[in-house]
């Protein structure tokens, strides 16, 4: 809570088996070394022509470029959730692609068809194109102030975990420059696609800002002068917001006070906005 992805190093290959020819930034990984959130960069000309599947669920949002899996082309800001055992007969990226990618176990690419029963079609979200959707303010918790809206990407039919895009218009200012902090009983993961999100307690997050907000840890108060566009995912349950009662003062330029594991903290730097003039 939080780091700018730009400050993290690329490494060759990802942490699983079978994609040694991509580059990866590790945003977060669980203590067992299994579930992780990464940025995967597919080089121009990347290609798979043989049938294969992954041992775990792979969820992604295209940050840049385009990737084609089977007959589906995924352009910038499109989304997919391909469950374990989803068959990829072919895949390619002619000009390269950068994907925010979540793995739900340590990913291992296997050749051929999956064993019966591995693939659960109820979990498949083949393709979502948010650019063809309207923002829905009715999906937002009414305790949050007006103006924000959601584009839903996925709800897990079993765990009710959700992934969605979340937007705020600019100039969402805490009334009287004070607001309560809040938290959630589940993990909330945030990736800033565009804009800036100001956390009174830990700093200003810019495009590329990434947070793995632990359960029951209070943060904020928060506001935005620029507006923002975030990818949000809940882990270990549906989205629930718990608001504190005590109002805390808010400032526009809080000091960067990251709360990060040591492996990430060494790279973390404050966000500095390039001038728009």
Q: Which residues bind Fe ion (CB under 5 A)?
A: 188
CA pair distance 233, 235, nearest whole angstrom: 7
228 φ, ψ (degrees, to nearest 5) = -150, 165
From the CB of 28, what's the least distance to Fe ion, in Å? 16
The DSSP secondary-structure symbol of 183 reads E
Spell out the alpha helix ranges (H) of the chain: 262-265
Q: Can you tell me the distance from the alpha carbon of 93 to that of 41, in angstroms, rounded to the nearest whole number?
A: 10
Distance between CA atoms of 38 and 34, rounded to whole angstroms? 12
**CA neighbor of 228 nearest in space, from 253, 203, 192:** 192
Q: Which is nearer to Fe ion, 78 or 181 (CB)?
A: 181
- Residue 178 beta carbon to Fe ion: minimum distance, rounded to whole angstroms: 19
CB of 35 to Fe ion, least distance (A): 20
Shortest reach from residue 30's CB to Fe ion, in Å = 20
Cα–Cα nearest to 178, from 223, 124, 114:
223
Q: Taking CB positions, which residue lies at the least distance from Fe ion?
A: 188
In angstroms, give the least distance from the CB of 141 to Fe ion: 8
Kindly tell me which of 54 and 186 has the beta carbon lying closer to Fe ion. 186
Could you give the 3-state DSSP secondary structure of residue 41? strand
Nearest to Fe ion of 8, 239 (CB atom) = 239
At residue 262, φ and ψ (nearest 5 deg) are: -55, -35
Closest to Fe ion by CB, 35 or 188? 188
Report the SS3 class of residue 15.
Answer: coil
Beta bridge mates, 4 = 209
Decide whether 74 or 197 has the Cβ nearer to Fe ion: 197
Closest contact distance (angstroms) between CB of 204 and Fe ion is 17
Instruction: Return d(Cα 171, Cα 158) in angstroms, integer.
Output: 37
Nearer to Fe ion, 241 or 263 (CB): 241
Min CB(124)–Fe ion separation in Å: 27
Which of 268, 274, 254 shows the shortest CA–CA distance to 203?
Answer: 254
Of 19 and 219, the one with the shorter C-beta distance to Fe ion is 219
């Amino acid at each position: 809570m939080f780091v700018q992805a730009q400050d993290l190093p690329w490494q060759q290959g990802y942490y699983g088996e079978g994609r040694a020819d991509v580059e990866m930034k590790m945003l977060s990984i669980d203590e067992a070394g299994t579930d992780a959130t990464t940025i995967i960069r597919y080089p121009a000309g990347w290609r798979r022509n043989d049938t294969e599947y992954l041992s775990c669920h792979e969820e992604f949002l295209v940050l840049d470029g385009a990737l084609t899996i089977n007959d589906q082309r995924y352009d910038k800001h499109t989304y997919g959730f391909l469950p374990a055992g989803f068959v990829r007969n072919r895949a390619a990226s002619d000009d390269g692609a950068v994907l925010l990618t979540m793995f739900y176990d340590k990913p291992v690419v296997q050749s051929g068809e999956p064993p019966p029963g591995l693939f659960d079609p109820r979990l498949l979200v083949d393709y979502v194109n948010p650019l063809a959707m309207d923002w829905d303010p009715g999906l937002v918790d009414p305790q949050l102030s007006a103006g924000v809206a959601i584009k839903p990407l996925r709800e897990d039919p079993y765990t009710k975990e959700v992934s969605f895009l979340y937007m705020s218009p600019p100039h969402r200012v805490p009334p009287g420059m004070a607001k309560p902090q809040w938290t959630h009983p589940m993990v909330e993961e945030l990736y800033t696609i565009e804009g800036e999100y100001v956390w009174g307690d830990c700093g200003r997050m810019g495009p590329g800002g990434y947070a793995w907000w632990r359960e029951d840890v209070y943060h904020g108060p928060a506001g935005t002068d620029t507006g923002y566009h975030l990818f949000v995912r809940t882990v270990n349950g549906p989205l629930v917001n718990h608001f504190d009662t005590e109002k805390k003062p808010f400032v526009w330029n809080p000091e960067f006070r990251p709360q990060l594991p040591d492996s990430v903290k060494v790279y973390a730097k404050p966000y500095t906005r390039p001038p728009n003039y």
